[in-house]
Structure 1
Amino acid sequence: MKPRILLYTGKGGVGKTSIAAATGSLLAAEGKKTLIISTDPAHSLGDAFGMEIGHNIKKLGENLYGQEVSVVQSINEHWGELKDYLRSLFLSQGLDPVSADEIATLPGFEEASELLYLRNYYYDEEYDTIVMDSAPTGAALQLLSFPEVMTWYMDKLFPLGRKTARVARPILKPFVDIPLPDDEVFENIDLLYKQLTDIRKILTNNEVTSIRLVTNPDNMSFSETKRAYTYLLLYGYPVDAVVINKILSDETGGFFEKMRVNQQDIIDEMEHSFVDVKVFKVKLLQEEPIGHEKLVELGKLIYGDEDPYKIFYKGTPIKYSKSGEKYILKIKMPFAAKENINLFNHGGELTIEIENWKRVFYLPESISDRRPVSAEYSNGYLNVVLE
């Protein structure tokens, strides 16, 4: 049986790692074999358990395992042929070995490598649940958007580059002193592309994956959580819960009374805003939950009578429908500002931009010649009419 995937992200400092570690610990205590993976460059998963974890999978307790993914090792494992070629290319141009090695790590290598580990564990079926302690919001969005971004380059540039290399390699080789990519390099890229396309299908499958946003009851965290929720829905990722962490209790005394009032106002607004997904509320603890036993206790405080393995919301953020001769693309994005949304169509590619993020929609072939004629944003949905 394929494992359930739970991915936790949120603004830095909100307690994301503790929530992810507590979830994994609780699931393991309930008898589910669980792997917790940290893809945060500033790994703190080991700190939560009070032990060193490292890149190799380590047993943390009964039914519980952990891994802090090493970017260097993961790139060497998954991108070996391509990185070796790039390194040799830069060395041939006079770069020193250290600089050549650094530059050979192209943007996106880290994200791709981390996702490929997840894919491997998913198909191995060794675990019941995989919990991801992802990077803070911005980096997590880059991680999740990378497979689709790579799709554009693979569709547009990869076939041309491969064909050009095959033609040019025998002609140029006697005359140039730079290494030319061989078929193994292109085969490596092609395989990685297919694997990344596959992992995107896994991560957007709401029967398998749930993304959970961790936040604090303050205005900055709330604003970032709303943005993250909107961007995740734009990319079609299933968000099923929000965890509001570090809520002050009445026992904190009179000095914190005003802060408690402010927190409660924000909590009320959050519950009103995230009506579709499950909202969990967690009190600020008197001491850090370090170690397996305390993390299990925290897990019980978070979920109460609920099972963290459960799917709390299964809505589909992106839908196509037909009205007469027109097609409608409906995208859920409840916190987007209408004035910040831009869209255009070129050659069957519908591009939607929201502030610093954009997504290219590859329209179904049957409607790839349609163009957007109007777009209306209402009731938290962007409705794009294609004709």
Structure 2
Amino acid sequence: MGDEFDDSDLPDPSLKNIIDQKTLQWVFVGGKGGVGKTTTSCCLGAQLAKTRKKVLIVSTDPAHNLSDAFCQKIGREPTPIQGFDNLSAMEIDANQDMDEMQRQMEEEEDQTGGGIGNIMGELSNSIPGIDEAMSFSELMKQVQSLDFDVVVFDTAPTGHTLRLLSFPTILEKALGKVMELKDRFGGLIGQATSALMGGGQNPAQAQDALLGRLEETRAVINKVNDAFQDPTLTTFVCVCIPEFLSIYETERLVQELSKFGINSHNIVVNQVLFPEKDAEELSEWFEGNKDNLPKEAQEICSKMMARKRMQDKYIGQCFDLYGEDFHVILMPLLDYEVRGVEKLKKFSELLIDPVDLEE
């Protein structure tokens, strides 16, 4: 940072652009695991609640953390957040439907001596990701039916998020594969489909029902995908920490989002040591005062300085990569956990009014 960057030429280091864009309906927050996506999602939701009528935060990460962040129980239905009158949250277990489908397959395999189960196994192996796509379709239908002005998605780690964007392609392959299996196995695939759909249907009806469900899923996801590619409706906030693997993952995420036509122009860098100062300033202070410090304090400061220099290097790389086109927001490492409504509200202010880098 320091002399390498002219702050006047860079986009504002703030997420105020998201708050001010009143047309936004979907805000995704994603990145590598453990970088503070949930805290960022909650803080962004808290800020959006100041200007929107009804805001919803949805966790699609199997390792849900919204309940821990807000210090209250949050379930599969929108739960009002205490301390707000227009902010709700919900935690969706995207794997639940897949587990239930697998359980039904295993039960039918026991009942049929393996025939139907084998066919269903081939069907599932032929279209990997179809269960996730259908679960996501149901989630989006549910969220769209709710009365919220804007939805913030606290997403799973990067790999899961990128699979979400590939669902339209997966569904196209799935429809083709189902038709292929239908031609190859005839009535047997119909029996397997009937079992999957819960029974009570003849094979022909079951096949039509599955195809109909896939077509419906494709229609929903194509519609959602169109909205995701509209920058007036959707944006993606990338979250990272100033370390090599996290910056590398962010670059991968930004490139993939660009390929899918998803708008992303905000990067939040969490856990920054003293974002208002650079390593050179701190080194000068340390060299001038270390003789007055106990040996233990000198060792602690030396390790902190090494960490600060490493962070500054990767923050500099982040600005080199994104500074001209992205709002890069540096969020400080605190000496306490950001949990509970009051701490989240206070921390969220830094997303809009960041630490003054000129101090």
Give the TM-score normalised by structure 2. Answer: 0.70
Provide the residue aligned with 2:135 in structure 1.
113
Equivalent in 48, 66, 72 of residue 27 of structure 1: 48
2:225 paired residue number: 200
CA distance in 1, matches of 2:86, 2:105: 41
How many residues are paired up? 293
SS in 2 for 1:281: strand
Residue 46 of structure 1, CA deviation: 0.9
Matches within 5 A, 1:1-387: 4-60=25-81, 61-71=84-94, 86=105, 89-94=108-113, 107-108=128-129, 109-122=131-144, 124=145, 126-154=147-175, 156-160=176-180, 168-169=186-187, 180=203, 181-249=206-274, 253-274=301-322, 275-304=324-353
* Preserved CA contact (<8 Å) 1:7 1:131: yes
Single out whichever of 247-256 and 279-288 deviates more from structure 2. 247-256
Residue identity matched to 1:264: D
Residues 41 and 31 from structure 1, CA distance in 2 versus in 1: closer, same or farther, beyond 3 angstroms? Answer: same
Deviation at 1:261, TM superposition (A): 1.6
Q: Is the 8 A contact 1:162 1:186 kept in 2?
A: no
Contact 1:39 1:68 in 2 (8 A): yes
CA displacement 1:155-176 (0-9 Å, x = unmatched):
x3345556778xx449x98xxx
Q: Distance in 1 between matches of 2:71 and 2:239?
A: 22
Going from structure 1 to structure 2, the CA distance change for 1:255 and 1:99 (only over 3 Å counts) comes to farther
Give the drift of 1:88. Answer: 6.6
Contact 1:33-1:127 within 8 A present in 2 as well: yes
Q: TM-score, normalised by structure 1?
A: 0.66
SS of residue matched to 2:39: helix
1:352-383 C-alpha deviation (Å, 9 max, x unpaired) = xxxxxxxxxxxxxxxxxxxxxxxxxxxxxxxx
> Residue 10 of structure 1 contacts residue 225 of structure 1 at CA under 8 Å; is this kept in 2?
yes
Residue pair 1:205, 1:238 contacting (<8 A) in 2 also = yes
User: Partner letter of residue 350 of structure 2?
Assistant: L
Give the drift of 1:14: 0.6
Q: Is the 8 A contact 2:29 2:153 kept in 1?
A: yes
> In 2, Cα distance between the equivalents of 1:72 and 1:51?
23
Query: Is the helix fraction higher in 1 or 2?
Result: 2
Cα gap change, 1:49/1:204 in structure 2, threshold over 3 Å: closer, same or farther?
A: same
Matched letter for residue 113 of structure 1:
S
Structure 1 pair 153/31, CA: closer, same or farther in 2 (3 Å)?
Answer: closer
Indicate conservation of the 8 Å contact 2:133/2:171, yes or no: no
Q: Compute the displacement of 1:260 (Å).
A: 0.8
CA distance in structure 2 between the aligned counterparts of 1:64 and 1:203, rounded to whole angstroms:
22
Q: Deviations over 1:69-90 (max 9, x none)?
A: 02355569xxx9x889856753
Residue 74 to residue 294, structure 1, CA distance change in 2 (3 Å): farther
Q: Higher Cα Rg: structure 1 or 2?
A: 2
Quickly say closer, same or farther: Cα 1:150–1:182, change in 2 above 3 A: closer
* Structure 1 residue 186 displacement after superposition: 2.0
Distance 1:67 1:233 in 2: 28
Identity of aligned residues (%): 25
Q: What is the CA-CA distance between 1:32 and the residue it aligns to?
A: 3.7
Counterpart code for 2:307: M
Q: Distance in 1 between matches of 2:53 and 2:265?
A: 20
Rounded to whole Å, the distance in 2 between the matches of 1:64 and 1:136 is 24
- C-alpha contact (below 8 Å) 2:62/2:95 kept by paired residues: no
Q: Following superposition, which runs of at least 4 residues in structure 1 exceed 6 angstroms of deviation?
A: 82-85, 98-106
Compared CA separation, residues 287 and 85, structure 1 to 2 (3 A): closer
C-alpha separation in 1, matches of 2:161 and 2:92:
14
Task: Check conservation: 2:329, 2:351, Cα contact below 8 A.
Answer: yes
**Distance in structure 2 (CA, Å) of the matches to 1:241 and 1:127:** 23
Shift of 1:41: 0.7
Q: What do residues 245-271 of structure 1 show as CA deviations (whole Å, max 9, x unaligned)?
A: 110116995531121122112111101
The two structures, once aligned, show a CA RMSD in angstroms of 3.7
